[in-house]
């Protein structure tokens, strides 16, 4: 077997192990997060930086297309006026694997002052972000697939999968139908499939 295939298979195995760990840890905190999001009368605001921010953007798009209005808030821009998108009817989900990302931490006091629930997705339950949250969802992985141990790989996969899990639970809670999906997603092959 080539070294390329070995690296690819090892990467996939590490990421699968991260997801299996996530499944084992899933519990009451997840249910509490779904309840908060389902009860939200406004928008779900997802905030993060770097790779966590990119994953947050994808989760926001998935939530929005499946019946839960959501927006991405760039943590770096948040303290320069963009916190104004958060209203008292919203719920914030903040993403930071370390739970110590400076730009994300700078948001906490302002989120608390607005008085909205904060769901944190981190890999460190003792982190500043996790401790400040209304609900903490662990995205901890044993190790990253990166041979340097640096590039977010297994952790970003775990974050995305947990976000998808939240979205699918909310879709079911809202009894979101194919007709609803067609209304929100008229374009592309999915839109054609549902409107033919």
CATH label of the domain that carries residue 54: 3.40.50.10490
196 residues of the chain, pLDDT tens digit each: 689 999 999 999 999 999 999 999 999 999 999 999 999 999 999 999 999 999 999 999 999 999 999 999 999 999 999 999 999 999 999 999 999 999 999 999 999 999 999 999 999 999 999 999 999 999 999 999 999 989 999 999 999 999 999 999 999 999 988 888 888 777 777 667 766 6
Alpha carbon distance 95, 75 (integer Å) = 9
Alpha carbon distance 160, 95 (integer Å) = 11
Q: How many domains does the chain have?
A: 1
Alpha carbon 86 to its chain's center: 17
Alpha-carbon distance values, 28 to 20, 44, 154, 155, 172 (Å): 17, 20, 23, 21, 18
* Phi, psi of 91, rounded to the nearest 5 degrees: -130, 140
To the question of pTM greater than 0.85 for the whole model, the response is: yes
What H or E segment, with its residue span, contains residue 123?
Answer: none
The answer to whether the CB of 122 falls within 8 A of the CB of 136 is yes
pLDDT at 196: 64
Alpha carbon distance 136, 77 (integer Å) = 23
- Residue 146 domain boundaries: 3-195
Alpha carbon distance 80, 72 (integer Å) = 15
């Amino acid at each position: 077997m080539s070294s390329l295939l070995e690296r690819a298979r090892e990467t996939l195995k590490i990421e699968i192990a991260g997801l299996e760990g996530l499944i084992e840890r899933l519990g009451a905190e997840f249910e509490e997060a779904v309840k908060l999001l389902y009860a939200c009368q406004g928008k779900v605001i997802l905030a993060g930086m770097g790779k966590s921010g990119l994953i947050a953007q994808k989760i926001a798009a998935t939530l929005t297309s499946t019946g839960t209005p959501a927006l991405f808030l760039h943590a770096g821009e948040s303290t320069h006026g963009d916190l104004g998108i958060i209203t008292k009817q919203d719920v914030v989900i903040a993403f930071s694997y370390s739970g110590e990302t400076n730009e994300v931490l700078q948001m906490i006091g302002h989120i608390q002052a607005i008085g909205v629930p904060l769901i944190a997705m981190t890999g460190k339950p003792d982190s500043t972000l996790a401790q400040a949250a209304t609900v903490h969802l662990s995205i901890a992985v044993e190790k990253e697939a990166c041979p340097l141990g640096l590039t977010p790989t297994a952790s970003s996969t775990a974050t995305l999968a947990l976000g998808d899990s939240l979205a699918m639970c909310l879709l079911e809670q809202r009894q979101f139908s194919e007709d609803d999906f067609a209304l929100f997603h008229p374009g592309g092959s999915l839109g054609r499939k549902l409107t033919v």
